[in-house]
Structure 1
């Protein structure tokens, strides 16, 4: 302190003496001189105060004067000095704190990275993170930039990399922390932990070792096993097959929905609580015994589910803590297996029925199957074949019996034959046996191994082929010798075959035809002689058509005046044969005959028209004559002499006959014109026959002819025109009476069948010659045949017309040896007949 006071004294004195400006300037200078020491020495202000206290009065007075002179400058200097002193003190304190913080940071960093790990931190609003730590822990090479750590797929498998990526996004966006145990692509186990701390997102990735790694790996395995167990339980619960598990006590502790449905339980829980059984008691005992003996059980057992008995493949396995089982529905499999066995059996039976010999050898070249045709073909002993001999043994036996083709090197030939066991495709060959037979052999490799031999005796086929070749040659020579022109066009429309007559008829070159020209080309060659486009179009369609192939006949009138009859005939192989026949002469004759026939038909029509007209003209006067004859014969008119009455009877009988003839002609003309209609109604067969016979009673009496009537008692009625049927029977009876000798017998009969009513009239007359039978039903044709009966020949014509109007049929019975038997069949269903006619 004394040193300080001394210094201050010296300083003040020097300031007073040296500064000419007075004490104020000396004080300022003194303050300036001492201010550095004051500012730099700690506690200087306190020592100065103490020093000033110890100064003597003169010194204090001098100092006070000096200070008073200085005034405001001294105060300012003091304040400045205090500020600088405080600033220096604060700087020193801060430096000390920084050194301490740096020391703490180094200590904490050393502690933090004492184990291998990587820290990744993102500040608020920052996209680029700060990465520190040992990046070699994750990346294989240090040369890679640290940011490659954020490409998780470079050091993690795909699924964990995606999981890590989602966890980091959730941390940065929502502040959600995470803790993951991961296995890198290199097989290292690491722990990734993410936290949001102080506005920053921090991810720490560290290597796990020792117990921590074991714990992490155990956790991973545990999670994997939990996931796998959950997946398996979910699969077992959703499986369509009944699944179950039992404890050591045999009680059910797991069952799926299919098991519950099979046991008709409300749910799987219900099945477990009630301990419902799927199998019968005997099957359960057998399964329990098998599990105790072999730790596994497998059998196909019947199970009744929903009232239906089905087959299930039951598999059970003994495991720690109990057993587990599954039941697979094998009903369809069993059905398919049975169907396959039936199919195989049917296949074998079918092969046994084949005429071809079949032998199947398995993969060991032993005979697995043969049919009876194979045994008979080679005449082998059945006992030998049933012993499943190998292929070589069969061939050796056949060779010893001289039943195989003669071969210079039998061993090499057999080796070539056995190449079929290694082939992929079937092979064909023909064997010519010493006994003259020819066998076609097909060797087919089987998919399951082995070979199938198929033998066919083609001796007859080869002979037929030779005969066919000869036949083709004969046919060719025959076609060449025909006068008709013949050409065969294939399905492609090209000429395949022609004879010389075809070339001559159409004036074509045989050399050009031999080039197989198309039908269009042949048409162009033939157009100069015949150019009808429609006819050629028909021929082209017949040759080239695919559907509706049928024969077509054409008449071709060529420009040279010749007429050809053309016929297109489809052949079975798709070809078409064209034949052309020159019918010029026959066509001319046919035209003459046609003209003559037209003239005859015109004349016949004129005859019919004339008869029709005359019959109408005759009917009116006949009616008048008949009326007057009946009037004259009436007693009311007046008495007649015997001779007059006789003449009136002649007139009446003649006019009645003439009127009947006229009516018949009119009926026939009406029928011929298509104007006749039937008045259908119920027909009483017995009354109809009686009405018809009544009209010929006088003739039967006069000729002493006996009439026999034979009617089925159950004949009943049928639908028809009763008046026309009476007319039919009357004409038949009149015709029979006219051709029967005196004292003969006439028979009329009626029979009913399932579809018709048949009337038959039989007489003992001379019969009808065969050459007349086809004409007696024509107009004005009579079967006189030397008989005393003469008529207009209209009765049978009316009979046929009226029967056919009813839809029936009239014919002669060919079984009658003497006389004539005419049969008329009337259908029972007139409605069907009229509908068919309409």
Structure 2
């Protein structure tokens, strides 16, 4: 009994010692980050080791001893109950067991005082033991999900942890890593191989640990970022540098070293080489000190060449950094753009189209003079760079925009051009009757360009052109002539129905634009003259010597066509065909009739001339014997004989005058009349003509009034014929004038003629008979005493026209008649010189 007790006691003491050692180690490890120097139960801090420092054998011994302790306790209790009766020993054993249980609970509470999870894989086992607060990462009722790392970690960290656990279990490789869960919590995962087991501890970081972990992550990220930025800076072709507050270089890239003519980067930093001139460096330092940044275009000498660079520098906490970007090409391009912009502005100012450019803020950036004149806007208003809406509102106020039912909606639609990608074209019809073509073009850099062209005249021309085309089409369609237009390629471009009917062609076939060769083959059935068709074909297809060609085509059906080819300015040729069959027949008949009439007229003239000549000889004999009988030397006559002789004398004189007039008219008609030109005194001609009608004036009690201008003078003419003209006019006027009336004869000179006028107060001539008064043998004796053959006015017109003059008659029925004869003063002179 005592031996059992001794063994149990020794076992208990050993287990207590080992348990205390292991649990204190776990407690020390768990509490060490929070309570530095804590030793537990008076154990020094440097004597405490963690659970991860225990060997696999220690853990086995603890386990075995604990089992033995349990067995020993049970055995002891059983032995004490059965064999010992002493209550003091039994009470002491119970006190020791209670003490051991209390210490084990204390150590467990100490181990899990901080929230953490322990996962232990025993040697040769596959099912791990999970203890601790699994609710930190997975649902409390599903602790096994802690092993599915991908359920509570992002994919990449989950893969890293899985690989680390595999390395721990297979090769005993420990690990320690800081991770961030899918919910954003920072945790620490630690793995160790202890006592033949693979143990992983997972705990949430907090306090200093969490800050330290986050700092390490930030440090790593910043390191990676710094390396990336350094690599980028080294690869860039632009000089980049960093300086301390005292101006010493702390970093330069290879481009800086090359620009500063250094051997390498360390050489540029060690020698503190500068890129900028001293004055530029001073300006840069001043700008950094005042505003913390500097921007400017400065010259830098690189590789022996002075080039412009855009330098940008920024003040940092304890220094500055900068970069120099080569802007030589950009500067050259800027200068070229400025020159090009100015050239474009000058060009746009010369355009007749109105141009207005609005920028991205919809403000007027440019306008030309045509735009200002088109809208009649004040230059001061335009130079103030008004916005697009202000310009439209001003134009609307002055009624210079198209009338709109909803002006706001119209303006919004117009301003859609600022968001468009393609140009739009529209036509504005203004209240003043003008029409404007408006093109809105979006600019690549923002804004819109407006182009305004006054197309009022173009629209009017287009309307007139369309009208002319329609009129031309209707005219061609209504023509009786056949018209066809052939292009320069020899194909039909235009035809009218008359052409199709005339050649018995199908309009549908002609609308297919056939060649002249095809048209010729269709038309040969009714007209097969090869020479004529060759002439027509050459007129259409010839390039040179394009002349009008006229042909007369006599077809097999007996019809006759007039064909005319007319070259058109555009290289086309127009053919016109006119059916002149009836005209030919009528012309033939008229020609025959005309020949007969000419023969009859010639016969009449010959007959009149012959009869007049034959009458003149006996009349001359009768007149001579009548004068001989009236001579007193022949003996006295009875009164009755004298009266009869007087009748004979008057009749023969009248018959002789009539015969002379007929001969004169016949001579004029035959073209054989010759004028004997010379100076003619107008006043003397009137006086000579008046003497011939004195006896008739006295018989009819008619007064003759002569009105001759003082400046009439003379003119070139046949004096005898001029007197004959005046005599016939006076005789005609006296014959139609009533008794006790006045006949007025006058003469006046104009710029190019001498005008004689004879006015009577007779019955006048109706308008429908005025033109007939100058024909042969036309006499109007009704209402007057005049009896004549009707040749006087015919002679008057013939003689005046023979002088190159004109005769006109002014008459009012019931009031009298005025006949005016104009004898030219220059025409006759020219004609005389020519003869």
| TM-score where L is the length of structure 1 | 0.49
| TM-score where L is the length of structure 2 | 0.49
